[in-house]
């Protein structure tokens, strides 16, 4: 875990928020559990509702959950023949839904979270960190993105999709990898910045697509090495000009930044209506909220 003094140094002050979490890698994958712990330790009111199994690449698919197959949930996290939805026996805020990512977050927003939030809906939706990047052409097919987009478009909840290039499917009860902890700490920093900016946390139908670079024991291995870069999902050659930032009116693409040498985190501003880039006044609103942590490329 990050040292408390370092957390205080990098995180803006913010009040606790009602958070709904999901992903497409499954409810028992270590990335989402590590982020859950970071959010909870920071004082947020968190409910996790994610697929019972790995559902990567399912985009915005949605179907009623069914009884769990005989082989059980991923990593033996629930028994074969378990009900379509269920929770962790020691922590009922950890919930599985035996269906797609969109179905999972929808169940969390509509059914599970209100039980813990005194009937109120979540204030922010956080998906991931995904195992593997979600940039450019990968975005429409990502279940992690699909869940975030559902929350923003269909439930009116500001949302952020997080993805990391390092890692592999790992069970929640294995030793926490360095990359998983770093991604959780970086995701918490971005989340805290958005929450500290005040309501509305993001403009209507807006979501953020965040991608973390590779982490190793010798490179990008502490949170203070990372820089947050405002980017686009797609090139935008035929799109209106972007908000002026870092001396230009065209933001760099995610792909051009993630393939660059350095510890750069990309943050793109997505439109939940079609999973493309926002190209209107909402860019300026989001830039204002993220400015405290943003850097320019050298």
pTM score of the predicted model: 0.95
Residue that has been written with the tokens 């500290």 in this structure = 196
Orientation of helix 178-196 relative to helix 30-41, angle to 10°: 50
pLDDT on residue 15:
74
Q: What is the pLDDT at residue 14?
A: 60
Separation of alpha carbons 245 and 249, rounded Å:
6
Residue 117, φ and ψ in degrees, nearest 5: -105, 25
Kindly give the confidence (pLDDT) of every residue in the chain, 298 residues in length, as a single tens digit, with 9 standing for 90 and above.
334 334 434 445 567 999 999 999 999 999 999 999 999 999 999 999 999 999 999 999 999 999 999 999 999 999 999 999 999 999 999 999 999 999 999 999 999 999 999 999 999 999 999 999 999 999 999 999 999 999 999 999 999 999 999 999 999 999 999 999 999 999 999 999 999 999 999 999 999 999 999 999 999 999 999 999 999 999 988 899 999 999 999 999 999 999 999 999 999 999 999 999 999 999 999 999 999 999 999 9
CA distances (Å), origin 221, targets 91, 181, 216, 225 = 31, 10, 6, 8
Grouping H, G, I as helix, E, B as strand and the rest as coil, residue 45 is strand
Q: Are 50 and 96 in contact (CB under 8 A)?
A: yes
Angle formed at CA 223 by CA 93 and CA 226, multiple of 5 degrees: 120
* Maximum alpha-carbon separation in the chain: 58
- CATH superfamily to which 4-293 belongs: Survival protein SurE-like phosphatase/nucleotidase (3.40.1210.10)
Domain boundaries, the chain: 4-293
Q: For residues 109 and 119, is the Cβ–Cβ distance under 8 A?
A: no
* Among the listed residues 26, 186, 51, the one whose alpha carbon sits nearest the alpha carbon of residue 106: 51
Task: Count CB neighbours of 10 within 10 A.
Answer: 17
**Under 8 Å between Cβ of 166 and 216:** yes
User: Using CA atoms, how far apart are residues 71 and 93, in angstroms rounded to an integer?
Assistant: 23
> What are the CA-CA distances from residue 10 to residues 111, 131, 193, 262 (Å)?
34, 25, 10, 19
pLDDT at 237: 87
What is the spatial distance between Cα 162 and Cα 158, in angstroms, rounded to a whole number? 14
Task: Output the pLDDT for position 92.
Answer: 98
């Amino acid at each position: 875990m990050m040292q408390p003094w370092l957390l205080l140094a990098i995180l803006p002050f913010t009040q606790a928020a009602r958070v709904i979490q999901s992903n497409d890698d499954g409810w028992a994958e270590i990335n989402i559990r590590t982020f859950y712990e970071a959010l909870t330790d920071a004082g947020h009111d968190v409910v996790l509702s994610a697929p019972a199994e790995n559902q990567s690449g399912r985009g915005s698919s949605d179907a009623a959950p069914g009884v769990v197959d005989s082989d059980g949930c991923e990593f033996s996290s629930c028994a074969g023949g378990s009900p379509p939805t269920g929770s962790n026996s020691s922590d009922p805020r950890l919930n599985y839904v035996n269906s797609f990512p969109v179905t999972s977050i929808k169940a969390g927003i509509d059914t599970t979270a209100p039980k813990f939030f005194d009937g109120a809906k979540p204030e922010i939706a956080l998906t991931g960190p995904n195992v593997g990047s979600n940039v450019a052409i990968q975005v429409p097919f990502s279940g992690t993105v699909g869940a975030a987009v559902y929350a923003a478009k269909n439930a009116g909840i500001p949302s952020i999709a997080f993805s990391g290039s390092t890692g592999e499917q790992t069970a929640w009860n294995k030793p926490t990898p360095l990359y998983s902890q770093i991604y959780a700490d970086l995701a918490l920093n971005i989340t805290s910045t958005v929450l500290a900016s005040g309501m509305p946390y993001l403009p209507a139908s807006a979501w953020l697509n965040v991608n973390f670079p590779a982490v190793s024991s010798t490179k990008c291995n502490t949170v203070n090495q990372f820089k947050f870069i405002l980017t686009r999902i797609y090139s935008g050659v035929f799109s209106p000009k972007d908000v002026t930032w870092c001396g230009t009116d065209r933001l760099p693409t995610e792909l051009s930044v993630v393939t660059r040498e350095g510890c750069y985190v990309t943050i793109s501003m997505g439109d939940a209506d079609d999973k493309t880039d926002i190209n209107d006044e909402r860019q300026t609103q989001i830039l204002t909220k993220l400015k405290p942590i943003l850097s320019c490329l050298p």
